[in-house]
Amino acid sequence: MTAQEPHKEKPQRVRIMPMKRLTPLPLPPVASIREKMRQHPLAVNLAEHTFHEWFTTPLNGDTWSRWGCAAQMGPDGLTFDRINNVSGAAEPSDRGYARLRHTRYVTLHPGITPELSERIAPKQAPERELDRKYLAWADDAGKLAEEAMARQWRPGLTVRWDEMECLSPQMERAFDQFATYLIQAQQFCSDAMGPFIGRVHYQFMEVKTLMACELFDYNLHCAMLRKRVMSNGGGMGQQVDGFDAGVLEVCNEASQGFEGFQQRDLTGMTLALDVLFNGVVLDFLRLAESAHVSSFDRRFFRQMQQDTARHVAWGCRRVKYHLEHAPDREDVVLRLDCIAEQAEAGQAAGHLLNPQVIEPLAVLLGGAPEKAGEGYAILRRFWPQFAGNYLARLDAAGLPRRGRSLIPEQPPF
């Protein structure tokens, strides 16, 4: 395409079902509505001023299941683990129940028979797509969720904007271009993983909580980076294309655009996005922290590393749990290997060797555009860690890919 040709817009990259508009059905006449509201059985019941089941049910462990069970607060506050220990539901069961939006803390009403329960539950509901433990759970999910919340970046308390330092125009530009990439990367992660939250059954509430934290982290990073970029004499840089290569395709395949009702592949998405993509982002952040940036900017990168490292850890544990508990382990290994190959091939070229990412990073590492060569030397020395860290994570997750990974173990430059 030449510069003169009009832009041909493509569908948005992260696939998501189209939005419909509601076609209203006619409502009955207002007088009829009001009359029926007056006769509403609940209104009539309440007008009798008597208390119903919640007040009369015995506190004997049936409907009201855990009377007298109190969790003790510890030095780390009142955590999921402390609650779970007394909840009678410390671990989720292998399959989510038919009532879709109840956590496992709430005992299902015995008056609703399993048959009735199945009859009223939507057969094609988002929460049913990931209602098996092996599809959604991770060991120590509660601890991870607590860590995510306890270590969440509170910018109001920790970012001291008055300590922000001016950089030379060229270094500011390198910083801004690198930050522009980071913002895009965080937005991509948010877009790709966010809609999966609603697909996870409420039985796995710690996982839902953890994913909500992850979503927030990505956006908080965007917010803080945007402020930084737009306030220190520079500005937002040039759009970076291709950094999501391989991973985008895996995520779209895993979600199927969230259309229709089918099993979504949370594990495939986390392998590509959390283990590989965020692993690369984490290493880039480590490099940026050690570059010629101000101590203010260094603290920024350090904080982002903490959050990103959690996302990577979640991804590893998710993959590990799936591999350890899936009934069809051999098929799963084949599928995950295939996903890893696709993501690795795209990431090696589009992310790890993306000139719009590497060039500004090399300038930051070297300390000036004319010293970019020194930056490349650091990148060369660092490169084995990209591959090494990723492979070590896959080992830990139980998906060893040594000798097969498409992330080169030595720098290709």
Q: Restricting to residues 119-158, name those near other proteins by CB under 8 A.
A: 120, 126-127, 146, 149-150, 152, 154-157
Rounded Cα gap, residues 160 and 162, in angstroms: 5
Q: How far is the CB of 107 from other proteins (least distance, A)?
A: 7
Contact by Cβ (8 Å): 355, 165: no
Residues that contact other proteins, how many (by CB under 8 A):
162
CA distances from 185 to 13, 317, 346 (A): 13, 22, 15
Q: Is 90 in the site for other proteins (CB under 8 A)?
A: no
Q: How far is the CB of 13 from other proteins (least distance, A)?
A: 6
The one segment of 45-53, 284-292, 297-305, 323-331 that binds other proteins by CB under 8 A = 45-53
**Residue in 60, 160, 327, 330 binding other proteins, rule: CB under 8 A:** 160
Question: H-type helices in 89-167, by residue range?
Answer: 114-120, 126-129, 133-136, 141-150, 155-158
Q: Is 260 in the site for other proteins (CB under 8 A)?
A: no
Contact by Cβ (8 Å): 161, 222: no
Contact by Cβ (8 Å): 339, 331: no
Residue 287: which H helix or E strand, with range?
Answer: helix 278-289
Q: Is 33 in the site for other proteins (CB under 8 A)?
A: yes
Rounded Cα gap, residues 136 and 214, in angstroms: 15
Question: H-type helices in 290-371, by residue range?
Answer: 295-325, 329-350, 355-366
Q: How far is the CB of 367 from other proteins (least distance, A)?
A: 13
The one segment of 132-140, 222-230, 284-292, 298-306 that binds other proteins by CB under 8 A = 222-230
CB atoms within 10 A of CB 211: 24
Q: Where in 94-113 is the site for other proteins (CB under 8 A)?
A: 99, 101-103, 105-109, 111-112
Rounded Cα gap, residues 49 and 52, in angstroms: 9
Q: How far is the CB of 249 from other proteins (least distance, A)?
A: 9
**Residue in 140, 143, 236, 290 binding other proteins, rule: CB under 8 A:** 236
Q: Which is nearer to other proteins, 102 or 325 (CB)?
A: 102
Q: Where in 340-399 is the site for other proteins (CB under 8 A)?
A: 341-342, 345, 348-349, 353, 355-356, 358-360, 362-363, 369, 372-373, 375-376
Q: Which is nearer to other proteins, 164 or 325 (CB)?
A: 164
Rounded Cα gap, residues 184 and 49, in angstroms: 57
The pattern of x and - marking residues 48 through 87 that bind other proteins according to CB under 8 A reads: -x-xxxxx-x-x---xxxxxxxxx-x--xxxxx--x--xx
Q: Which is nearer to other proteins, 143 or 325 (CB)?
A: 143
For 52, the token pair is 């119903």
Q: Where in 165-184 is the site for other proteins (CB under 8 A)?
A: 170, 173-174, 177, 180, 183-184
Q: Which is nearer to other proteins, 147 or 283 (CB)?
A: 147
- Those residues whose C-beta lies under 8 Å from the C-beta of residue 32, and which sit 6 or more positions away, are none
Q: Which is nearer to other proteins, 32 or 324 (CB)?
A: 32
Q: Which residue has the tokens 């290493």?
A: 283
**Residue in 92, 96, 234, 279 binding other proteins, rule: CB under 8 A:** 234
Q: How far is the CB of 281 from other proteins (least distance, A)?
A: 16
Give strand pairing partners of 132.
95
Rounded Cα gap, residues 357 and 375, in angstroms: 13
Rounded Cα gap, residues 153 and 386, in angstroms: 26
For 269, the token pair is 């998405």
Q: Where in 183-202 is the site for other proteins (CB under 8 A)?
A: 183-184, 187-188, 190-191, 194-195, 197-198, 202
Q: How far is the CB of 133 from other proteins (least distance, A)?
A: 19
Rounded Cα gap, residues 51 and 100, in angstroms: 27
Q: Where in 238-257 is the site for other proteins (CB under 8 A)?
A: 238-241, 253
Q: Is 305 in the site for other proteins (CB under 8 A)?
A: no
Angle between helices 80-87 and 141-150 (to 10 degrees): 150
Closest to 298 (Cα-Cα) out of 180, 183, 165, 194: 165
Q: Which is nearer to other proteins, 154 or 324 (CB)?
A: 154
Closest to 160 (Cα-Cα) out of 296, 305, 295: 296
**Residue in 130, 215, 247, 365 binding other proteins, rule: CB under 8 A:** 215
Q: Is 47 in the site for other proteins (CB under 8 A)?
A: yes
R_g over Cα of the chain: 26
Q: Which is nearer to other proteins, 16 or 325 (CB)?
A: 16
